[in-house]
Amino acid sequence: MALKKRGEHKYNSLIFKHIKILQELQYSSGLFAASKKGVSTGYDKSWLRDNFYECLAFESVEDFVTVRKCYKAILSIFLKHEFKLDYAIAKKPHQKHEYIHARFNPETFEEFWEDWGNKQNDSIGSILFKIGELQTKHKIKIVETPDEFRVVQKLVYYLSSLKYWCDADSGMWEENEELHSSSVGACVAGLISVKKIKGIDVPEWLIDEGKIALNNLLPRESIKYSYDLSQLSLIWPYDCVSKKQTEDILSNVEYYLVKDRGVVRHKNDYYYNADPDGYSKDAEWTFGLTWLAIIYKKSGNEKKAKEYFDKAILAQNNHGEVPELYFSNSDKTNENTPLGWSESLFVVMLRMF
């Protein structure tokens, strides 16, 4: 792992600790579980989106061996299910099972067949985004073989067939089928990024359709939600919104959703809601704090960055792990502890301070 030598970074020991936690979530295939293996919630599975976010920590410490292994495994998943891409390209899918699934067995790369919100266009956008960045910015060879070039090109055609700019999907939280700004933005950023790879064709109109839809949606996340934690992704890592749009997103998230131990995903979030009616006691997601710290650090706002950094440090549990969430106004976490996504953003944050 290409960390600075001990003593050159004041958070080295903490970074090593959380990288170790992430390493324990990785399978021999290269894919990561969403949380610890064997957890009863099903988070021992591999999500495309979670693997994207989990790899950010290894990228931040310049461990591109781990990153490359993970993305090669993801390409193997797409190749295994290439027939689904072919069907979807030939005719726009309408049923959830016709879409590329969001979760896979991390050892066999098979889909899980139970009913799930598999219409998650942002997950495809995120993979394209990082493949493009790794290949062109970091010069890490991800797409090498004719098979890999073919399947990545089909992912572009897949988004085109879906008409991602007007396709109602389940979004980052796998819930309501709506047009989500976070999903459209991920696809726009993914297409812009992968277009830079020589040999991958991305027509400009395909990007323009997404930009128009994104600008029409913002500052809302969707028809149902005026604001949402997922919109932070549009600021970082995707960097696909204007200064004014960035200000609006941050203003909404901070005013309506930031709590002491985390950030609420959106108002009236029923997932792990502490109220029996699932209405008022929304769970507090820890990675929202690290996300805000990263965004403010990158923008040069040291005061706000330090504010969220301090909150994120306190969001670790008594074992020094970063959980998925805390129940509303409590020190009780859910079982998805540690959450790989949370651990990864925590490492990224530490590396910036």
- Domain containing residue 106: CATH number: 1.50.10.10
pLDDT tens string 36-51: 998 999 999 999 999 9
Does a structural domain hold residue 348?
no
Does a structural domain hold residue 337?
no
| Whether the predicted pLDDT of 8 surpasses 80 | no
User: In which band, very low, low, confident or very high, does the pLDDT at 141 lie, cut at 50, 70 and 90?
Assistant: very high
Does a structural domain hold residue 314?
no
Provide the pLDDT for residue 5. Answer: 45
Which structural domain, as residue segments, surrounds residue 129? 12-242
Does a structural domain hold residue 319?
no
Asked which of 205-214, 275-284, 285-294 is least confident by mean pLDDT, the reply is 275-284
pLDDT tens string 211-246: 999 999 999 999 999 999 999 999 999 999 999 999
Does a structural domain hold residue 126?
yes
Centroid of chain to Cα 284: 17
| Whether the predicted pLDDT of 88 surpasses 90 | yes
- Return mean pLDDT, the chain: 96
The verdict on pTM exceeding 0.75 is: yes
Does a structural domain hold residue 277?
no
Closest CA to 312 of 346, 351, 343, 275: 346
pLDDT tens string 291-309: 999 999 999 999 999 999 9
The span from the CA of 84 to the CA of 81, in Å, is 6
| Whether the predicted pLDDT of 204 surpasses 90 | yes
As a whole number, mean pLDDT of residues 255-273 equals 96
What domain count does the chain have?
A: 1
Does a structural domain hold residue 271?
no
User: Would you say 164 and 183 are in contact if contact means Cβ atoms under 8 Å apart?
Assistant: yes
User: Would you say 282 and 267 are in contact if contact means Cβ atoms under 8 Å apart?
Assistant: yes
User: Would you say 181 and 217 are in contact if contact means Cβ atoms under 8 Å apart?
Assistant: yes
The span from the CA of 310 to the CA of 98, in Å, is 44
Provide the pLDDT for residue 1. Answer: 52
As a whole number, mean pLDDT of residues 84-107 equals 95
Does a structural domain hold residue 45?
yes
Give the Å distances, CA to CA, from 351 to 62, 158, 297: 11, 36, 11
Burial of 107 (0-12, 13-18, 19+ CB in 10 A): exposed
pLDDT tens string 63-73: 999 999 999 99
